[in-house]
Structure 1
Amino acid sequence: MGLKGQHNQLLLGAMKEHKSVDMKWLSWNIRGIGMNEKLRKIKKVLVDRKIDLALFQETKKASFSRVNVKRLWPRDKMEFMVVDAEGRAGRLICVWDPNVFQLSDCCSNRHFILLAGTVLNSFDCVVLNVYAPNDPVRRGKLWKILVNLKASFTKPWCVYGDFNEIRSVDERVGCSRRERGISMKDFNDFIDRCELTELPMLGKKFTWCNAIDGNKWSKFDRLLLSPEWIERFKPKLWGLPRHIYDHCPLLLMEDVRDWGPKPFKFTNAWVLHPNFASFLERAWQESQLNGRACVILQRKLHALKLALKQWSKELFGNVSEKIKEIESQLYSLDLLAEDRPLVEEELKLKRETSSQLWRFGRMLEWSWLQKSRLEWNLKGDRNTKFFHVMANSRQNKNALNSILVKGLVVEDLGQVKNVVWAHFNRHFSEAWTIRPVLTSDSRVSDVVIGFSSWKHSFRRKRYGQRSKSAMEIKHQVPMALT
């Protein structure tokens, strides 16, 4: 093998290795790290979850050397950053695998560590480890500092940690403070001003509990992301068991599991195309099939689905590029009109092009509007990027990531599929072996055989409805599909 071939083989191997890396980040307010037993439990979580970046708050340790960090970190390669504690409170630690996160810049104070760098050698970003003070006045000052830093560190933000604040009253149970109303507003204003989105937490509702009594709950810990994170990755945030600790660990991971083919969905924006109705009719008529009507219906719907998917891919798959081409064409016509009056053909072309631009833009926005399931007036905004982020956020929130089976959480892809299949198989199975059959000549075949027993069984239903005769059933059967 030549040198060039060896180089290509090494490059391919490196690409495969890079692609196999899954992002797994952890944030945890550990409330002290001095005891060896606690250190071993934290390290076990890092090992079991294969964490490649960890952010800790409230270590409460006066000094933290590289040896101390190495006792905590299970990987061979390691980089870290530490800020000092305020007396017995505070102290932050960030530790990461340099193969996953490459640091380029940083800054910190007593309440946060900011790391600017690159994830997986491909995504420039800013990662913040935050521990907000309990005092609402000092907490408000921290929000102002972070807002000012946003102007200097413009790459997409990932803000992780213990914010010591809730966003709404339903994030707290069993305890309250008078100043929460004002401080909640300040916190939400900070999130809006930084243009961040909170990633929904899976598995738990609250992140903090008073470990002694267990009757007070709050959501102090959370993850805030810039929209670019949601566009680039498929992030999932899990609230892990807290066991005997006050705070539960938060695990951020990218869901790279293959759940199989996606179900077909009709897109409302399709009807905006002037040729949609004629295409739909032509695709339906083109499939000429023989057999029973129920089989014909199933096969025609399947053929229509494939035709619609191909049509949508060809038309909507490059809508953004078509919009750019149309805008460029309009710009050229505007420049031409500045030099001389446009002739009739050029005016006609400009009208047609403007109409196409409006139609394609509306198609694109309607498509994302449907995916995001937001009312148009909710934001008063036609920003497609906003709809894109909201659609991805809704998909992350509604995704089936695990199932609770007899008290045990099942996360394995194969096991989840088997459990779901068994559940619906039980609910949609029936003992009737003989049923009315839909045929192409609109007659019910073989329905008389066994119909008497089916009718008596139906009469015994608690709904008390009158059983339908064979003639009534016949009149309700649709005509043959040709």
Structure 2
Amino acid sequence: MEVKGSLDKDSWGPNPFQHEVSHPQGLSVGIVTLWNPEKFLLAQSSSDQGYLIIKGIWRASKENYAFVNVYTPNDPNRRQALWRKLEREINSGCDTCWIVLGDFNAVRSPLERLVLARKLKNTKEKIKQWRKLKTEENRKKIEEISNKVNKIDLKAEDAQPYESDMTIRNELLKELREFESKRLMALKQKSRCKWALEGDKNFGFFHALINKNIRSQRLTDINVNGIWTSDPEKSILEAAISLEEVKTAVWKCVAEKVPGPDGFTFAFIKNQWDIIGGDIFLAIKEFEKTRRIDRGCNSSFIILVPKITHPNTLDNIRPINLICCLYKIISKVLAERLKVVIDKLIIPT
């Protein structure tokens, strides 16, 4: 973890500051403590998993102060061990004023938890708004700086550039690198989290780190009572969907069932397969590639069909879910593949 030079502008403001950092250990987060050196003179610092201590003199009163920045774990046993360790630290400095602050992962009463939940929710919304505003500001700044650099480059193509222009250009490029550095820091943070990023513009290195977490948790084989699904079976499940496979799934669907929101029955699809079969196959291949079904193809209607002439209770009504043909075909293809291994995954009763 590094504290970049932009931190004083974004979080601390224009006032001078110094900092100490406790780096992440295992699953614990990193901790950073910042202070104004005009107010507090640092003498020493120490840290361990879950806390960071800075000791020194409060300039106004000339007294010894120790600030403990804490991030306590959620596990009760680890939390108690942390408090015992801090208790020994505090008892060792009798002539020092101790101030403990941070995230204690605890509340004093259930009512406080409700208040805290509301505060956290409001804070989250404010952070989202701030992040959105900051992102837009940075985008405009980057665009403005890039335009200035382009103007200098165009000017240099027509004539020998002035030294002052090149100096300005170097400063502008430095600003662009700072913005890029912030973006890389954000990507590093994301790569440490178990996030499945979709559509993010990402450098290959960090994208690989994120995908590595996903791959490490992917289910590749299943062991049931000592029996593993074999490679040939796995290859059947993962094989590309073929046109013949789609056609077989269509012909296994009942022809005259009530149509879904798209208004088509399988009788129509079978009758016109030579004309529309290719388009249906391309739509299913697109699903195979993107793992997504277009919203219009994923719609469904729930119809309440009466069992008697004048139904007046739920027992007299039978719900029917009407879904589009494309959704049914995809489900049938996947179901047919699962038939290959389903008998080894379900214990007979």
TM above 0.5, one fold? no
**TM-score, normalisation: structure 1:** 0.24
Q: Rg bigger for which structure?
A: 2
Higher helix proportion, which one? 2
Specify which structure has the bigger relative contact order, considering alpha-carbon pairs within 8 angstroms and separated by 6 or more residues: 1
